[in-house]
Amino acid sequence: MELEKTLFFISPIGGKDSAARLHADKMMMEILQPVAEELGLEAVRGDETLDDPEKIEDIYKYIAHSKVLIADLYGINPNVLHEVGIALAWGIAPIYIAPASIQHLPFDIQHQTHIRYADGIDGEMDAHILNRLRADLKKKIQRALENPEILVYKRALPYVQQHRTLAQKLERMEENIDAKVRGTESILGKKVDRMDNDLCSRLDAIKDEVDNVFSHIMKGEQSFNAVFIDGEGPAFAALTDAINRAKKSVKTTRFSPYSVVGRHDEFFSAVLSATGRLQKGLYRILAINSPEKLKEANQLVINNVGKNLTIVFTDIEYSFEIVVIDDEEAFIHFRRADRREILIASTLHVREQKVASEFSEIFDQIVKTNAIKTVDCSELSDEDVSDVISAIKESFRAQLDKP
C-alpha cells in the first residue's frame, strides 16, 4: 500500500459488538471509505494495519506517512488521544470529527477546527444527515490537500526541524562511514589482515550504532521522548516518583469527581511532602464536584498551613488530567467516559522540556479562565483554616447540592 495515498482513520475500536466498534464500523463504511474513494485515497483504520497487535510501530508508520489523518473524538478515547499526541509531536495536524453531544473537548484540541456530527449517527439516520457529514468531510479534506499547511501543526515545527537536522547529519555520517569501510578494504586488502580486521570491525561497530540510532529516529522514538503507560497503578507509581524528584515546581489537576485520598495515598503523601521543599511551590487545580472532593480540599488546606501550596478551586470537569514537573516533563492522564470511577485509564508521559512548557501554559490558561476561588496556603495561619474551609464549601454549595 502506498502510504502517501492513505487516509488514516484514528478511531476508538472497542471489542466485538461493542458500541465503540459498531460506531467505528459505521463511520468507516458509510463516511470514510466513500469520501476517500472520491478523492483517490484509500481509507485505513488502525486495527486493519496490524497482523500482530503488539506491533504498534505499524500504526506509527501510518501516522507519520499517510496523506491525511482523520481523528474521531467519539468517547474521548485514550488511545485516540495518544495517537493524536504522537501526530502533533511530529508536526502533523489531524482533521478532527466529534459527536455534537461532547460539550468539553480536551483543552489543547478545543482551539483546533473540528467537524461535528449528529449523535444518532450510529442508528438508522436520514440519508441527508449522512450526506451532510460526507460532504463536510470531503470539503475539509479537499481544502487541506490544496493547502497542505493546514495539515501541519505549526507549534511543533521547531522541534521537528531539530530532529530532521539530526537525522540528516546521521545519514551523512552513515554514508561517510560506509565510504571509509569500503576505502579501508580497498587500500589494505589482505596485506595486513590483523589491522584490516581490527579497523573494519571498529568501523562496522560504529556504523551499526549509527544505524541503530537512525532507525529509532525514523520510528519516532527519538523525535518524541514519550512513554505510554497503560493502567492506573503504573501511572500513579511513575507520577509519585516524578513528584518525589521535583525540585522547582509541580502543577497538577484533579478534575475527576473521585478523590485520590484513600486510593493512592503514596501519591497524596508525595504531594504533601513536595509543598515543603519546592522552590516555586506546588499548584493544584481541584474541581469541587463531589462531597469526597470537598473532603480532599479540606485535608489539603489543613495539612499545608504556611506551606508553599496554591490551590485553585473550580467546578469544571474534563476527561483528562495534567501534571507538569519542573516545566521539564509532563503527564497527560486520560480517563474513561464509561467508567468515571477509574482515576486514570492511560497516560502519556512526555520528557521534553519545550513540550512540557506548552502543557504548563495550558495549565496556567485553565487557571486564568476557570478559577472560582484560589487559596495560597503560605499565607494561612491555623486560625484561618476554619473560615477558609467554610468559604470553599459556600462557594460550591450549588454544585454539591446537585442530586
DSSP assignment of 253-290 equals EE-SSS-STTT-HHHHHHHHHHTTT-SSEEEEEEE--S
Contact 375, 311 (CB under 8 A): yes
Nearest residue to 67 via CA among 46, 88, 93: 93
Percent residues over pLDDT 90 in the chain: 27
| pTM beyond 0.75 | no
Question: Could you say which DSSP state residue 332 is in?
Answer: E
Per residue in 240-286, pLDDT tens?
Answer: 999 999 999 999 998 888 888 878 888 888 888 898 899 999 999 99
Mean pLDDT estimate for the chain = 79
CATH architecture for residues 3-152: 3-Layer(aba) Sandwich (3.40)
All three cell numbers of 69: 489523518
What pLDDT is stored for residue 258 in this prediction?
82
Residue 288: φ, ψ to 5°? -90, 85
Give the separation between CA 344 and CA 355, rounded to whole angstroms. Answer: 21
Please, what's the largest Cα pairwise distance for the chain? 90
CATH number of the structural domain 226-400: 3.30.870.10
Q: How far apart are CA 375 and CA 396, in angstroms?
A: 14
> Confidence band (pLDDT; 50, 70, 90) for 218?
very low
How much is the pLDDT for 196? 46
Q: Cα angle vertex 330, ends 343, 243, to 5°?
A: 75
According to the model, what pLDDT value does residue 190 have?
46
Q: Find out whether 342 and 336 touch, Cβ atoms under 8 Å.
A: yes
- What pLDDT is attached to residue 72? 92
Question: Using one digit for the tens of pLDDT, what is the confidence trace for 35-52?
Answer: 999 999 999 998 876 555
Mean pLDDT of 72-88: 87
56-59's contacts with Cβ under 8 Å and 24+ in sequence apart are 57/219, 59/83
- pLDDT on residue 35: 95
**pLDDT tens digits along 357-403:** 888 988 898 888 888 999 999 999 999 999 999 998 888 876 666 55
Residue 79: closest CA among 156, 8, 10 = 10
pLDDT the model gives residue 55: 56
